[in-house]
Amino acid sequence: MPETFEEFAFHLHTNTIGPIICAQRLLQTNIPIGTIAFMSSDSGSTQNFREMEDGFAAYAASKAALNQAMRHMAAELKRKDDDTILLALHPGEVATDMANIDVGWEVEGIITPQESVSSLIKVIESKGIQHSGTFWTWENKVSNAVQHKGVKDLY
């Protein structure tokens, strides 16, 4: 668990509040957008709880909150007949500074930032309005972090 209020608030501001407010402001411009992709994490999955992630509670909670906020935003846009596509994306286990910490468990399948980004671009380009509000991995697999009725039947 986070040690302080400030630590928990940092994760919420960085991973949830900032991206959602930024997307809301972008949508208010009435500029045709196409797709807004939110960088999430499998750590934010409520369906696939990763119990070995000691010390990641604030991070995981902030990503789970992002996933839920994105789903609500996508549903609201659909009701308004807005064809903007909202996606949550898991970039994979990417070799970045964030990955350079001692986590206490073995991390498998580490990919380069270039591999992650090029894969995510393909994922984003392959999605249509019927996918809005869903969560996808860099491998173009639907993530169980955000369940969406019928989406598993699409692929």
pLDDT in tens, the chain (155 residues): 667 899 999 999 999 999 999 999 999 998 999 999 999 988 777 676 666 666 678 888 899 999 999 999 999 999 999 999 999 999 987 776 655 555 555 656 788 899 999 999 999 999 999 999 999 999 999 876 555 554 443 33
For 5-148, which CATH superfamily applies? NAD(P)-binding Rossmann-like Domain (3.40.50.720)
- For the chain, give every domain's residue range: 5-148
Q: How far is residue 96 CA from its own chain's centroid? A: 17
CA 131, 137, 142, 147 torsion-angle sign: negative
Task: Looking at 13-149, list the stretches that DSSP marks H as alpha helix, in order from N- to C-terminal side.
Answer: 18-28, 57-79, 113-125
Instruction: Find where tokens 């090029």 sit.
Output: 118
Q: Beta partners for 90?
A: 137
> What's residue 110's pLDDT?
82
For residue 131, CA distances in Å to 30, 85, 134, 142 come to 21, 7, 6, 10
Do residues 120 and 102 lie in contact, with contact meaning Cβ atoms separated by under 8 Å? no
What per-residue confidence (pLDDT) applies to 89? Answer: 95
* pLDDT recorded at residue 92: 85
pTM, to two decimals: 0.83
Q: How far apart are the first and last CA of the chain?
A: 37
